[in-house]
Amino acid sequence: MIDLYTAGTGNGQRASIALEEFGLPYRTHKIDLAKGEQRSPEFLTLNPRGQIPVVVDSDGPGNAPLVLTQSGAIMLHYALQTGKLLPAGGIDRTRALQWFMQSATDVGPTSGALFVSQNVVPEKVPGNIKVFEDRLLAHLAACDRQLAGREFLAGAISIADLNLYPTCATRVALLQSAGLADLARWAKIMAARPAVQRGMKVPG
């Protein structure tokens, strides 16, 4: 059985939409980030960084229990385990990994930095916020160009698309103001997927 410790954030949604798309049964445990539950002694035994998402899988590799953090690692681990949403080999697999890493290392972290500059730093400086907004838009514009004439980022739908989607879902106004039409078309296709819809509602 898989236990998912999560909250309603982009990284939490990455884990839950992946588990839904892979068709893996899981139990959800809501972590209240505002109350600081991620820093409780019990939670820190699962993730010493004190962040969601965390998966506890009673049936990990070698039939041993697995505790896994990092939304990207969770996605990739179950893609490899199930053989779903990642081409088996060749250039298709390489391209899927390239775009998976683009959202994991460019889009997601920049969106996080934008959130911090808007909501967490003690002094909100419009010029600094704009720097992060522009950097995020540059990353998303690359996705938009890649999606021109394509339904998904790298051939068939893959973990590259799953990893990118939660950021686009939370940045709708920014996408619209930037006129990224191919990305907006792709986001509608992603939003219509029943498994994505279920995963985006977790933890409820």
Binding site for ligand GSH (CB under 6 A): 9-11, 33, 38, 50-53, 70-72
| CB closer to ligand GSH out of 91 and 121 | 121
DSSP symbol at 103: I
| CB closer to ligand GSH out of 55 and 143 | 55
Structure tokens at 20: 């839904």
Q: How far is the CB of 63 from ligand GSH (least distance, A)?
A: 25
Q: How far is the CB of 58 from ligand GSH (least distance, A)?
A: 21
Q: How far is the CB of 100 from ligand GSH (least distance, A)?
A: 12
| CB closer to ligand GSH out of 50 and 87 | 50
Alpha helices in the chain (DSSP H): 10-22, 41-46, 71-82, 90-102, 108-119, 126-147, 159-170, 172-178, 181-191, 194-200
> Under a CB-based contact definition with an 8 Å cutoff, are residues 190 and 196 in contact?
yes
| CB closer to ligand GSH out of 4 and 153 | 4
Closest residue to ligand GSH, judged by C-beta, is 51
**Per residue in 35-53, is it b (16+ CB within 10 Å) or e — as a string?**
eebbeeeebeebbeeebbb
Q: How far is the CB of 7 from ligand GSH (least distance, A)?
A: 6
